[in-house]
Amino acid sequence: MTRYISSTINHCILLIGLLIMIVPVWIIFASSTHSSLFINTNGLQFFLGDNFIENYSRVLFKKSGFFNEITALKMFFNSFVMATGIAALSVITSLMAAYGLVYFKIKYATIIFWLIFITLLVPLELRIMPSYIVMSKLNLVNTFAGLILPISASAIATFFFRQFYKSIPDELLEAAKLDGTSSWRFFIDFLVPLSKTMIAAVFIFMFVFGYNQYLWPLIMTTSEQYWTVVMGLKTMYGSISDRFAFVIMSMIPPVVIIVFLQKLFIQGIFQNK
Amino acid sequence: MSFLELQNITKIYPNGTKAVNETSLNIDNGEFVVFVGPSGCGKSTLLRMIAGLEDITSGEISLDGNIINNIDPSERDVAMVFQNYALYPHMSVFNNMSYGLKNRGISKDEINNKVNDVAKLLEIDQLLTRKPSMLSGGQRQRVAMGRAIVRNPKIFLFDEPLSNLDAKLRNQMRLEIKKLQRQMGVTSIFVTHDQTEAMTLGDRIVVINNGVVEQVGTPKEIYSKPNTKFVAEFIGSPQMNLFQCKIENGLAKISDMQINLNNSLNIQDACIGVRPDDILISDQGEYSSSANLVEYLGSDMIIYSSVGGQEFSCKLSSKINLKAGDNFKFNISPSALHVFDNNSGQRV
């Protein structure tokens, strides 16, 4: 009986938390399916309207920006490329950096690691001018490479992978050595599959980080062709329901990535048990 | 020339610890050799140097006529079974066993045949699709063995592979390892700290202490003629009784007990060893003592007693009726005695 009560209480608390998070999003979504006129006269809506297709297709395909050169669809594409690039490159560079630091007999590995780690103290906003100068000297302004490269190495991810590698027993490497594996094959056949769960976590983290970038793409792009969703949010001057529709759509890519990778994440946890 | 030769092998760790000191050893093809010694004596280090997982500070190792000091572990053609098995957690049993073969560029069909044959031999053919996490300790042990066997290496190295198993399984696996080794005739080195394992498995035993080889010999030689006090104490269960004494003209004096050694030895600081089962209890015994404690082991029992303040144990059939506190008489045959010089620790 007490168990029943305590589980009811637990569920109530969880439900309240869920409502606090979901209701505002729902209201935005419900409002985005009404016409602007209706919202302006009746306020925010809790129930769905019938302008869903009309509003969303208008927002997706309408040319916007200062020079009307870009559609929301293109912004989503830009953001997706940028976030995926940052996440993928971060995973690759930090996996490899950690591999080098842990498994190769580097004389000052610990010092090198701490040097990498203290770059956490220098976020992009602090080094934005030098980064911009480097990129512009390399002629990478208004390119995806310019958007991605300066944010494509992550000290915190290197730290996570390093700690994880250190927890892998040495015997595994020794057994693999006796089985004739090379350094590269050990990395591909052992470390990458073993860190699958960590890779998923770092990928999610870096994807959201990349997707949320505002200042860097603002500085790196002069052409509207390279605008991202977050920049678009700032410059969306359409009607109120259009803005709501844009906000809702801007949430979709990170949510999809999280839902998709979470599955892999949980799978990994069960396999390693 | 022997199959595996170790010449003056020394290992000094960067912090100055000398793990192995000037060790020389010859091992013949097909032999089953056991390295035994207390933990930290350097036996595992020696094994790992043979495998190539540890650098050699000085000395030379040759395998099948080639010096392998600087040869990569993967090219030495040795296989090792680790204490914690070191199975690849993310690979199925089949992939665990075939990984080494794949790296050697063997064709898929041949790999399939080899893995299946070995799996049948080890009775793990039902488990090939499972992951190591889904296996019991004994099954993991078999997979680890299978992974070593399937490569058909020149030499098998076992690094305390049985110490994670429970007693019953350990005995069973011990027998199986011995049987497999006989069947396949592959030269094997087995490291253990358990003297029973050493005695039962090895064609020859190498007793190591503090990085130095104390004695090399067949189990029988080591048991019946230990070269040093250390070997005498280490091999045999229950362990050998050692009496501190003074020997004058072949007469060993252990407080008021005197044993005639039938020789003319004179040693100031000596030590006499008697195996617990060489102490014979009889009513006509020359010496007498009283039982402090009796341990009943089923067919046998062990009696703990003391003579002149020095404790000793004797092992006898439990058919004899003796309880704690009883007095008993016993004999020690001079031929069963082992005399050591306390200063050198060597057998006299």
C-alpha angle A218-A224-A225 in degrees, rounded to nearest 5: 115
B228: which DSSP letter? B
Give CA–CA dist B33/B26, Å, rounded: 10
Contact A19, A36 (CB under 8 A): no
Contact A198, A164 (CB under 8 A): yes
Give CA–CA dist A79/A253, Å, rounded: 9
The residues, any chain, with a CB within 8 Å of residue A185's CB and separated by 6 or more, are B103
Give CA–CA dist B35/B43, Å, rounded: 6
CA A135 to chain centre: 22
Give CA–CA dist B239/B275, Å, rounded: 7
Q: Nearest-CA residue of chain A relative to B104? A: A180
Three-class secondary structure of residue B235 per DSSP? coil
As given in the structure block, the two tokens for residue B151 are 């490569």
Task: Number of A to B CB contacts under 8 A, please give it.
Answer: 63
Q: B133 and A190 in contact by Cβ < 8 A? A: no
Global pTM reads 0.82
Q: A180 and B86 in contact by Cβ < 8 A? A: no
Give CA–CA dist A238/A39, Å, rounded: 14
Which of A178, A194, A272 minimises the CB distance to B78?
Answer: A178
Give CA–CA dist B243/B240, Å, rounded: 10
The whole-number pLDDT of residue A196 equals 86
pLDDT (tens digit per residue) in A200-243: 888 988 999 999 999 999 998 888 888 898 888 877 767 888 88
The whole-number pLDDT of residue B11 equals 94
Residue A141, judged by CB atoms within 10 A of its CB (0-12, 13-18, 19+), counts as middle
Residue ranges in chain A whose pLDDT is less than 50: 271-273
Residue B129, chain A, CB below 8 Å: the answer is no
Residues paired with residue B189 on neighbouring β-strands, in sequence order:
B33, B157
Residues paired with residue B330 on neighbouring β-strands, in sequence order:
B281, B287
Count the alpha carbons within 13 Å of A26 in the hemisphere toward its beta carbon.
9
Q: Nearest-CA residue of chain B relative to A178? A: B74
Contact A72, A79 (CB under 8 A): no
State ipTM: 0.84
Q: B90 and A177 in contact by Cβ < 8 A? A: no
As given in the structure block, the two tokens for residue A216 are 């860097």
Residues of B whose CB is below 8 A from A180:
74-75, 100, 103-104
Q: How does residue B267 score in pLDDT terms, banded at 50, 70 and 90?
A: confident
Residues 184-213 of A with CB under 8 A from B: 185, 189-190, 193-194
The whole-number pLDDT of residue A273 equals 41
Q: B133 and A185 in contact by Cβ < 8 A? A: no
Phi-psi region of B172 (alpha: psi -120 to 50; beta: other; left: phi over 0): alpha
Q: Nearest-CA residue of chain B relative to A183? A: B74
Distances (CA, A) of A227 to A250, A256, B214: 13, 21, 77
Q: A175 and B103 in contact by Cβ < 8 A? A: no
B185: which DSSP letter? -
Give CA–CA dist B37/B205, Å, rounded: 10
As given in the structure block, the two tokens for residue A87 are 């996440």
pLDDT (tens digit per residue) in B20-48: 999 999 999 999 999 999 998 999 999 99
Give CA–CA dist B250/B253, Å, rounded: 10
Name the minimum distance, in Å, from the CA of A58 to any CA of chain B. Answer: 49
The whole-number pLDDT of residue A237 equals 62
Q: Which of B80, B83, B98 to mutate to test the interface with A (most CBs of A within 10 A)?
A: B80
As given in the structure block, the two tokens for residue B27 are 């091992």
Q: Nearest-CA residue of chain A relative to B133? A: A273
The residues, any chain, with a CB within 8 Å of residue A267's CB and separated by 6 or more, are none
> Which domains can be identified in chain A, with CATH numbers?
69-270 (1.10.3720.10)
Give CA–CA dist A80/A162, Å, rounded: 28
- HEC secondary structure over chain A: CHHHHHHHHHHHHHHHHHHHHHHHHHHHHHHHCCCHHHHHHHCCCCCCCCCHHHHHHHHHHCCECCCCCECHHHHHHHHHHHHHHHHHHHHHHHHHHHHHHHHCCCCCHHHHHHHHHHHHHCCCCCCHHHHHHHHHHCCCCCCHHHHHHHHCCCHHHHHHHHHHHHHCCHHHHHHHHHCCCCHHHHHHHHHHHHCHHHHHHHHHHHHHHHHCCCHHHHHHCCCHHHCCHHHHHHHCCCCHHHHHHHHHHHHHHHHHHHHHHHHHHHHHHHHHC
Beta strands in chain B (DSSP E): 4-12, 18-27, 32-36, 58-63, 66-67, 78-81, 155-159, 187-192, 204-209, 212-217, 241-248, 251-254, 257-260, 267-274, 279-281, 287-296, 300-307, 310-317, 327-332, 337-341
* DSSP labels, B100-133: HHHHTT--HHHHHHHHHHHHHHTT-TT-TTS-GG
Query: Nearest to residue A115, comparing CAs of A153, A164, A167?
Result: A153
